[in-house]
Structure 1
Amino acid sequence: MGTSAFAGTDEQGNFRLELGDKLKYVPLDAMATAKLAYETGGGCMHQVFHAMITMLAKSSSADAAKFATIPTALAGYGWAGIVGQGTVCGNNNATGMLVNILDDINGQNNAVIGATFRYYENTVLPLSSDEFVAGIGSTAEKSALVGKSTVANSILCHSSISNWSKANGLPFVKKGERCKRLSASITFHLVELLNRAYAGEDLSALPESKPSEEAQACQSCHGSETTMGSAASVKADMECTTCHTGHFN
């Protein structure tokens, strides 16, 4: 028997996720997964990652049993932008962590990550429709704790929380219900994107999976392979003008 048959297993032959292992995705119920994320504690990254892995472990995936072995508590470090540092939001961190271990979904894995990040940057969040609030098991009364939904304009926790705080006159410590719903919102959209990719849709062709026109304009000089003049080489698709005012204003 080839040695590859034993890859990713411990001495007892039990599966153990190894670098490079890829597990099969199957379509999930977006609202049910979002509800689980809302009900899960441990911060935003853990909410999203735990909900996705748990649902896949209960799914019809050929790798369901393997998903069940993944210790989702590892994602607990991502709260408030990595242990309170306000950097990359745990919702985005969890998205990358999950998609990185998924087998190729019609060549759309990178597009799923891009589309999720751009959605986080540019959408009024958390979702607040009556249907969504009821679907995740929250209540209209708790909506008062959320206040106005806002646009992050960045993939960073710092920007997301700051914009929400300014719009609602609330401090960081009051973010609980807002961030629980935000994690549910991103989980919902992530499942939708994965399901669409699984169905064969070309997400990479959609504007929502690409950087904004402003960010693409920045990349024309600040490229990853070539630059213009003394311009720094940059590898990023995130919004630029959130932090950088540009050169022409």
Structure 2
Amino acid sequence: MSINRRQALTKIIGLSTAAAGATLLGTSAFAATDANGNYRLALGEKLKYAPLDAMATAKLAYETGGGCMHQVFHAIITMLAASGSVDAEKFATIPTALAGYGWAGVVGQGTLCGNLNASGMLINILDDINGQNSAIIGASFRYYETNDLPLSSAEFIAGIGSTAEKSLEVGKTSIANSPLCHSSISNWSAASGKPFALKGERCKRLSASMAYHIVELLNRAHGGEDISILAEAKPSAEAQACQSCHGVTETMGSAASVKSDMECTTCHTGHYN
């Protein structure tokens, strides 16, 4: 069967014809359904969160391959698809493999850690959780930046399905002092004496740790806790001091305007770097 150009256009971009000779009425290129009526997440659409089991999510992240961003994003989305969320079926349609680019700071570039990339990607599609979404993202970034990771208690190691023997592959835990993969891996390497090539078990546990904490934050916000007032959700005192001069709307004298909540002194020393 042959189709004319107008019919072809209708099939390609999901336009519909009201009647013969009528004006074409188009749906958005970001429509929530495709030409065949199959659901797809629309740009700006938000899905309802439902509380999850943090340890079960961490275990799934630990068991999932594809790098840190995929581990965290896939684990939480998969758990939401099996949850009591009213949007569970919609979560199940999200192609989590898209998060596979985030390994080692975006395809090995050592920039934003995939765990945090996953946090932003996930929370950006969640419906408002008591006004706490932005605070949850901030808290996940600051937690990664300032805490000794990966989690290493016997309870956590058993919970994710790892073993004490594999802890030898991790060596020592470390503090990233930055949301960057580069800083995180470098500080772990310095602490453990291990090279980047041997980061496997360490990074699997780090992804499990972050999946665990992100779910904890989401659950707490869902339960009504104000995450925004936590010290964890705010820049450090040092970073806040820098922001007093390097503001977003106003600056001190000729100071540059800066938009960032990450640690400043990891890369900058006073006004000389």
Q: TM-score, normalised by structure 2?
A: 0.88
User: In 2, distance between residues paired with 1:63 and 1:206?
Assistant: 29
Following superposition, which runs of at least 4 residues in structure 1 exceed 6 angstroms of deviation?
none
The answer for the alignment partner of 2:14 in structure 1 is none
Q: Alpha carbon RMSD of aligned pairs, Å? A: 1.5
Comparing 75-84 with 14-23, greater Cα deviation is found at 14-23
Residue of structure 2 aligned with 1:159, choices 180, 183, 186: 183
The answer to whether 1:180 aligns with 2:204 is yes
SS in structure 2 opposite 1:141? Answer: coil
Deviations 1:152-196 (Å, cap 9, x if unpaired)? 000000000000001111110000000000000000000000000
The answer to whether 1:38 aligns with 2:62 is yes
User: In 2, distance between residues paired with 1:102 and 1:28?
Assistant: 14
Amino acid at match of 1:74: L
**Residue correspondence of structure 1 range 1-249 to structure 2 within 5 A:** 7-247=31-271
User: In 2, distance between residues paired with 1:164 and 1:226?
Assistant: 37
User: In 2, distance between residues paired with 1:195 and 1:49?
Assistant: 16
SS in structure 1 opposite 2:204? Answer: helix
Shift of 1:238: 0.5
Amino acid at match of 1:63: D
Amino acid at match of 1:204: S
User: In 2, distance between residues paired with 1:247 and 1:11?
Assistant: 56
Shift of 1:219: 0.4
Amino acid at match of 1:171: P
User: In 2, distance between residues paired with 1:13 and 1:111?
Assistant: 36
User: In 2, distance between residues paired with 1:75 and 1:215?
Assistant: 30
Unmatched tracts of structure 2, length 5 or more = 1-26
Higher relative contact order (CA 8 A, sep 6+): 1
Shift of 1:44: 0.2
Shift of 1:18: 1.4
User: In 2, distance between residues paired with 1:26 and 1:62?
Assistant: 8
Shift of 1:7: 4.4
User: In 2, distance between residues paired with 1:84 and 1:72?
Assistant: 19
User: In 2, distance between residues paired with 1:51 and 1:205?
Assistant: 28
Deviations 1:50-77 (Å, cap 9, x if unpaired)? 0010000011100000000000000000
Shift of 1:246: 1.4
Deviations 1:17-58 (Å, cap 9, x if unpaired)? 111000000000000000000000000000000001000001
User: In 2, distance between residues paired with 1:176 and 1:135?
Assistant: 18
Larger Rg: 2
Deviations 1:187-243 (Å, cap 9, x if unpaired)? 000000000000000000111100000000000011111111111111000011100
Amino acid at match of 1:60: G
Amino acid at match of 2:85: S
Shift of 1:15: 1.1
Amino-acid identity (%) = 79
Q: How many residues align?
A: 246
